[in-house]
Structure 1
Amino acid sequence: MTRKTTTPATATCPCGQPRPYPECCGPLHAGTAQAATAEQLMRSRFAAFAKHDEAYLLRSWAPETRPVRIDLDPGLRWERLEILGGTEGGPFHTEGTVEFRAHYREGRASGSLHENSRFRREAGAWVYVDGDITD
């Protein structure tokens, strides 16, 4: 079982948008709103990793590639997200990609994950399908 972390209501959302968490990714995590674009889903998934929200990560994952569970490392802190590009993934698309770099800290070491992720709409909602990790 992983622990969820809390974010003060006035803190900027972990996804990198200049809005407080309750006005940004909070409603997506709570299930009261859906991502309008593939990038918004990507940002909300990054925020879910940062907050250790395993339930949201699984809920926003395509069924055919979704793992049974996610083992989130409590010592790993996801700190910053850079969106590098993407294709389609807008409000009127059914598929899209988002290229990103996610920065993390583990103890005193820091690093980043660079991925080109694939998304698609399923029953009107964006879901993460899979991604290619690059150097």
Structure 2
Amino acid sequence: MNGARPTPCPCGSGATYVECCGRWHGDANPGAGSPPPAPSAEALMRSRYSAFVLGRVDYLLASWHPDTRPTGLQLEPGTRWLGLDVRAAREAGEHATVEFVARSKRDGRATRLHEVSHFVRMDGCWFYRDGDLKT
């Protein structure tokens, strides 16, 4: 044993990154081809939060619905993500919503993003479509 402690998943699930969002990012079994799709809209939302924490723009774009996906994405440099609170997750057939609060800090200023995200399942894979910000 090398003595290294497993890295907790940034999404706050309590699992390790490899056991949780790392599976969907493809980091759990590198070189094994395409990673499996997240099994639920909530799992996809958590994996997208972890992708923001880890700077995985590739994953964020790939998990965005093609109808609303931007051509590129620039993450805010210096943002430190502090935590995720999933408030509710609802699936109804091929559509789902996930309400969450994500906390971050940038340039010494704390912020929180409260959103209800909309997801669509296509060909067995969940995709982020868009979101409504809450105040």
Q: TM-score normalised to the size of structure 1? A: 0.87
Shift of 1:49: 0.3
**Unpaired runs of 5+ in structure 2?**
27-33
Q: Deviations over 1:103-135 (max 9, x none)?
A: 001122111000000001011100000000111
Higher relative contact order (Cα pairs below 8 Å, separated by 6+ residues): 1
- The change in CA–CA distance for 1:87 and 1:104 in structure 2 (over 3 A counts) is same
SS of the equivalent of 1:22 reads: coil
Matching residue of 1:12: 8
**Unpaired runs of 5+ in structure 1?**
1-7
The separation in 2 between residues aligned to 1:76 and 1:48, in whole angstroms, is 13
Shift of 1:11: 1.5
1:129 correspondence with 2:132: no
1:9–1:20 Cα contact (<8 Å) kept: no
* Identical aligned residues as a percent: 42
Matching residue of 1:103: 103
Q: Deviations over 1:50-83 (max 9, x none)?
A: 0000000000000010000110012111220001
SS of the equivalent of 1:45 reads: helix
The two structures, once aligned, show a CA RMSD in angstroms of: 1.4
List structure 1 runs of 4+ shifted beyond 4 angstroms: none
The separation in 1 between residues aligned to 2:5 and 2:39, in whole angstroms, is 23
Alignment of 1:24-103 (within 5 A): 24-30=20-26, 31-88=34-91, 93-103=93-103
Matching residue of 2:29: none
| 1:18 partner amino acid | G
